[in-house]
Chain A
Amino acid sequence: MIFTDKKILERLDRMLDDGINGTFEESDYDETQLSKLESKWLRYLTSSKLSAQKIEQEREKIQELVSDISHQTKTPLANILLYTQLLQEQPLDEQSLQLVNEIRQQSEKLEFLIQSLVKTSRLETGTFQLSPSQNEIDSMIGSAISQITPKAESKQIQIIYTPVSCTARFDSKWTQEAVFNILDNAVKYSPAQSDITVTVKEFELFACISVEDNGIGISEDELPRIFGRFYRGQNVIEQSGVGIGLYLSRQIIEEQGGYVTAESKVGSGSIFKIFLPR
Chain B
Amino acid sequence: MIVLKTEALTKIYGEGDNKVTALDNANLCVEQGEFVAIVGTSGSGKSTLLHLLGGLDRPASGKVFVENKDIFSLKDEALTIFRRRKIGFVFQSFNLVPTLNVYENIVFPIQLDGNSVDEDFVNEVISSLGLDNMQNRLPNQLSGGQQQRVAIARALAAKPAIVLADEPTGNLDSKTSQDVLSLLKVTGQKFSQTIVMITHNEAIAQMADRIIRIEDGRVCTRGQTPSEYIGSDSQRRIPSVLSGQLSERIIKGGDGND
Contacts and interface: CB of A to CB of B under 8 A. Distances in A.
Interface of A: 17, 20, 98-99, 101-102, 105-106, 109, 203-206, 208, 220-221, 224-225, 228, 231-232, 237-241, 254, 257-259, 261, 263, 275, 277
Contact of B182 (A241, A254, A259): A259
Given A203-B175, A205-B130, A263-B206, A102 B257 contact: no
Contacts of A238: 254-255, 257
Contact of B250 (A17, A102, A109, A257): A102
B254 to A, nearest CB: 7
Contact of B207 (A221, A240, A261): A261
Contacts of A241: 257
Nearest to A273: B206
**Which of B221, B222, B253 has the most chain A CB within a 10 Å cutoff?**
B253
B: contact size bracket: 20 to 34
A203 B258 contact: no
A142 B130 CA distance: 30
Q: Main SS of chain A's interface residues?
A: mixed
B7 interface: no
Contact of A239 (B185, B190, B226, B257): B257
B189 interface: yes
Interface of B: 116, 118, 130, 145, 175-176, 178-179, 182-183, 185-186, 189-190, 206-207, 209-211, 221-222, 224, 226, 229-230, 233, 250-251, 253-258
Contacts of B183: 205
Given A204-B176, A257-B190, 9 more contacts: A102-B250, A203-B175, A220-B211, A224-B210, A238-B257, A241-B257, A258-B186, A259-B182, A259-B189
A232 B176 CA distance: 35
19 contacts: A98-B251, A101-B253, A203-B178, A203-B179, A205-B179, A206-B178, A220-B211, A221-B221, A224-B229, A228-B226, A240-B255, A241-B257, A254-B189, A257-B186, A259-B182, A261-B206, A275-B182, A275-B186, A277-B186
A208 B178 CA distance: 10
Contacts of A105: 255
A105 B250 CA distance: 11
A101 B221 CA distance: 44
B186 A232 contact: no
B256 A206 contact: no
B206 to A, nearest CB: 5
B229 A225 contact: yes
Contacts of B178: 203, 206, 208
Contact of A240 (B209, B251, B257): B257
Contacts of B175: 203-204
A193 B207 CA distance: 30
A220 B221 CA distance: 9
Contacts of B224: 221
B34 to A, nearest CB: 9
B182 A232 contact: no
A204 B145 CA distance: 11
Contact of A205 (B182, B255, B258): B182
B256 to A, nearest CB: 7
A275 to B, nearest CB: 5
B255 A98 contact: no
Given A17-B116, A220-B221, A258-B186, A102 B229 contact: no
Contacts of B222: 221
Nearest to B240: A237
Contact of A224 (B185, B226, B250): B226
A206 B182 contact: yes
Contacts of A237: 257-258
Contacts of B256: 106
Nearest to B177: A203
Contacts of B207: 261
Contacts of B190: 257
A238 B222 CA distance: 27
Nearest to A258: B186
B182 A109 contact: no
Contacts of A258: 186
Contacts of B179: 203-206
B226 A225 contact: yes
A275 B183 CA distance: 10
Nearest to A109: B255
A145 to B, nearest CB: 24
Nearest to B224: A221
A259 B186 contact: yes
